[in-house]
Amino acid sequence: MDVSPQEFRDVQTLVRTLCGLILTDDKTYLVRTRLESVVQAHKCATFAEYLGRLQQSNANAMRDELVEALTTGETSFNRDGHLFEEFRQRMLPAIAETIRRRREALYPVPVARIWSAGCSTGQEPYSLAMAIHDFITSNPQSGLRVEQLPILATDVSARSLNTAKVGRYTERELDRGVPPEQRQKYFHREHEFWVVNDELKRSIDFRRMNFVEPVNHLGPFEVIFCRNVLIYFDAATRQRLCTQFHSLLAPGGLLVLGAAESLYGLNTPFVSEAIGGTTVYRKPGGIL
Band (215; pLDDT cuts 50, 70, 90) = confident
- Give the mean model confidence (pLDDT) for residues 220-233: 94
Do residues 149 and 111 lie in contact, with contact meaning Cβ atoms separated by under 8 Å?
A: yes
Using a pLDDT cut of 90, give the percent of the chain over it: 82
What does the pLDDT read at residue 261?
Answer: 92
What does the pLDDT read at residue 288?
Answer: 53
The domains located in the chain, with CATH, are: 5-71 (1.10.155.10), 81-282 (3.40.50.150)
What does the pLDDT read at residue 287?
Answer: 56
- Give the mean model confidence (pLDDT) for residues 70-99: 90
Question: What are the E-state strand segments in the chain?
Answer: 114-117, 151-155, 168-170, 187-190, 193-196, 204-208, 221-226, 249-257, 271-275, 278-282
Cα–Cα distance for residue pair 261/117, rounded to 1 Å = 14
Helical (H) or strand (E) element with 16: helix 5-19
Please choose, from the candidates 5, 3, 79, the residue with its C-alpha nearest in 3D space to the C-alpha of residue 38: 3
- Give the mean model confidence (pLDDT) for residues 243-261: 94
Cα–Cα distance for residue pair 94/287, rounded to 1 Å = 7
Give the pTM: 0.91
pLDDT digit string, tens, across residues 64-82: 999 989 987 779 999 999 9
254 forms beta bridges with 223, 282
pLDDT digit string, tens, across residues 107-146: 776 899 999 999 999 999 999 999 999 999 999 998 889 9
pLDDT digit string, tens, across residues 160-199: 999 999 999 999 999 999 999 999 999 999 999 999 999 9
